């Protein structure tokens, strides 16, 4: 086990998804994980099956202007060198404070659950969080998507270069709240711009604000109290910054414009910012701005919000939308509009799951969404590959021997995963010794 920084690559030579550094963070045994899961989930806790390891990755991505920048995240993986696991990328919910991310705080209940049950778990911090010191591009689809995609690239590189972990080359995306939005954005960009790079099996966008210019605008213009008032200025300040829309004092009342110059710099929590704001979020904005925005359908902010809506496209890979009917922060209509639009646009493998209103609002519905998504993944998508099982039928037999023989004789082309599955003596090449070992395992000798 390497428990120090593994490698440093000069930034100037890096490309998108290139690893800048890797640092060991933590390891836990099956028993330790099980105790933590039992304490957190009680009777809902799964059975931990693997010892697990956690690393922090710093990698290169691009900022909202397309310039190279660094971002960070975590990768945790099961301890079993004879199995290849799917990669599950989880996108976390809204965070303002830069160090309130897993790359700073280590394992969390979700990473413990998923890693110990057989997933390579990754969680990008997002731009503006973790090591990234720029303004977080909140609810901007392109930089959100690329921070995930480049984290996937870095994680795939880590799997290839490490002797401890093997990916089965299958990708699952999931996320809640802002993470639901980012998950859908990543799914869209992966299909529309880099279709052949990843084997994306399925995504689970949960409770995300997919209709920014419609449902979310109407909610803010309703002039009603809102439990997380910082969401509105967080969004508007991000858009002003990255669309270069002018100064904050052109949009916000003076006392708030002054505060927003520093409140979203990554040093303050959402709860602290909320304590400084009115319960009705839109009251931080100038009255003439509110009036112009309300009636001018060509207002620049409206146009930019609509450019970042995520409902008007046609996903091709499987997608399961989850949302609570009683969600007071990110209304259920966001998912309903997206689902109906996807179906109208010709998508076929799209599903919408609704958490009943009586089970609670935005925070309370999360556990039901996450557990349901996990079960769907377990039942339909999770595929752990065992070394030697070349035809993926969960048994070792003569068919696997024939496939390895074809590889050795150059009769069939093979990829990196095929090489790993066939290289039973871990020599880095295929030869008769691998066949002898496989025969021994089949005969149990």
List the domains of the chain with CATH numbers: 11-211+309-385 (3.40.50.1820), 212-307 (1.10.260), 388-442 (1.10.1330)
Q: What pLDDT score does 410 carry?
A: 86
The percentage of the chain sitting over the pLDDT mark of 90, rounded to a whole number, equals 91
> What is the pLDDT at residue 445?
60
CA 206 to chain centre: 11
CA distances from 284 to 112, 209, 221, 237, 247 (A): 40, 21, 12, 12, 15
- The reported pLDDT for the residue numbered 426 is 87
The predicted-structure confidence for 49-77, as pLDDT tens digits, reads as follows 999 999 999 999 999 999 999 999 999 99
Mean pLDDT of 9-22: 72
> Is the pLDDT reported for residue 12 higher than 90?
no
Average pLDDT over residues 335-347: 98
pTM for this entry? 0.94
CA-to-CA distance for 110 and 242, rounded, in angstroms? 32
- Assign 333 a pLDDT band (cuts: 50, 70, 90): very high
Q: What pLDDT score was predicted for residue 142?
A: 97
If one compares 43 and 384, the residue with the highest pLDDT of the two is 384
Distance between CA 118 and CA 76 in Å, rounded? 10
Whole-angstrom Cα distance, residue 20 to residue 13? 10
Q: Quick check: 366 and 70 in contact, CB under 8 A?
A: no
Q: Taking residues 273-279, what's their average pLDDT?
A: 98
Convert the pLDDT of each residue in 76-108 to its tens digit. Answer: 999 999 999 999 999 999 999 999 999 999 999
Statement: residue 288 has pLDDT above 50: yes
The neighbour count for residue 386, using CB atoms within 10 Å, is 14
Interval 228-232 mean pLDDT = 98
Is 131's pLDDT higher than 90? Answer: yes
In sequence order, what DSSP letters do the residues of 89-106 get, joined into one string?
Answer: EEE-----STT-SHHHH-
The strand pairing partners of 376, in sequence order, are none
Per-residue pLDDT of 184-225, as tens digits, reads: 999 999 999 999 999 999 999 999 999 999 999 999 999 999
For 323, phi then psi, to 5°, come to -160, 145
User: Percent of the chain at pLDDT above 70?
Assistant: 97
- Lowest-confidence region among 4-18, 143-157, 264-278: 4-18
Query: Cβ(75)–Cβ(57) under 8 Å?
Result: yes
The pLDDT of residue 10 is 35
Residue pair 125/73 in contact by the 8 Å Cβ criterion: yes
């Amino acid at each position: 086990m390497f428990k120090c920084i593994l490698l440093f690559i000069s930034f100037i030579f890096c490309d998108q998804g290139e690893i800048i550094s890797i640092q060991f963070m933590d390891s836990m045994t099956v028993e330790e994980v099980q105790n933590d899961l039992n304490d957190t989930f009680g009777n809902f806790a799964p059975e931990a099956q693997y010892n697990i390891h956690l690393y922090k990755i710093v990698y290169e991505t691009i900022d909202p202007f397309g310039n190279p920048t660094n971002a960070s995240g975590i990768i945790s993986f099961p301890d079993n060198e004879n199995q290849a696991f799917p990669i599950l990328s989880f996108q976390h919910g809204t965070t303002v404070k830069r160090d309130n991310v897993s790359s700073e705080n280590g394992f969390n209940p979700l990473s413990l659950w998923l890693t110990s049950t057989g997933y390579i778990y990754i969680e990008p911090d997002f731009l503006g969080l973790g090591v990234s010191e720029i303004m977080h591009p909140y609810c901007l689809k392109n930089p959100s998507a690329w921070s995930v995609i480049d984290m996937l690239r870095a994680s795939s590189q880590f799997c290839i270069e490490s002797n401890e972990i093997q990916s089965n080359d299958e990708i699952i995306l999931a996320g809640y709240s802002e993470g639901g939005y980012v998950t859908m954005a990543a799914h869209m960009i992966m299909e529309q711009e880099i279709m052949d790079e990843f084997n994306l099996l399925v995504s689970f966008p949960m409770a995300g604000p997919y209709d920014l210019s419609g449902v979310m605008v109407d909610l803010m213009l309703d002039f009603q109290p809102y439990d997380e008032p910082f969401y509105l200025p967080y969004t508007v300040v991000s858009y002003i910054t990255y669309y270069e829309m002018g100064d904050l004092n052109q949009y916000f009342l003076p006392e708030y414009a002054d505060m927003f110059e520093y409140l979203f710099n990554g040093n303050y929590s959402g709860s602290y910012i909320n304590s400084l704001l009115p319960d009705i979020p839109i009251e931080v904005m100038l009255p003439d701005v509110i009036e112009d925005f309300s009636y001018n359908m060509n207002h620049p902010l409206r146009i930019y919000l609509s450019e970042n809506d995520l409902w008007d496209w046609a996903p091709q890979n499987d997608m399961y939308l989850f949302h609570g009917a009683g969600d007071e922060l990110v209304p259920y209509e966001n998912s309903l509009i997206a689902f109906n639009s996807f179906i109208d646009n010709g998508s076929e493998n799209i599903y919408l799951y609704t958490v009943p209103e009586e089970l609670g609002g935005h925070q309370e519905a999360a556990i039901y969404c996450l557990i349901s998504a996990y079960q769907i993944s377990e039942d339909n998508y999770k595929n752990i590959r065992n070394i030697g099982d070349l035809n993926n039928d969960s048994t070792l037999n003569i068919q696997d021997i024939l496939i390895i023989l074809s590889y050795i004789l150059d009769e069939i082309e093979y990829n990196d995963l095929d090489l790993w599955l066939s290289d039973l003596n871990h020599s880095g090449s295929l030869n008769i010794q691998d066949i002898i070992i496989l025969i021994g395992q089949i005969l149990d000798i």
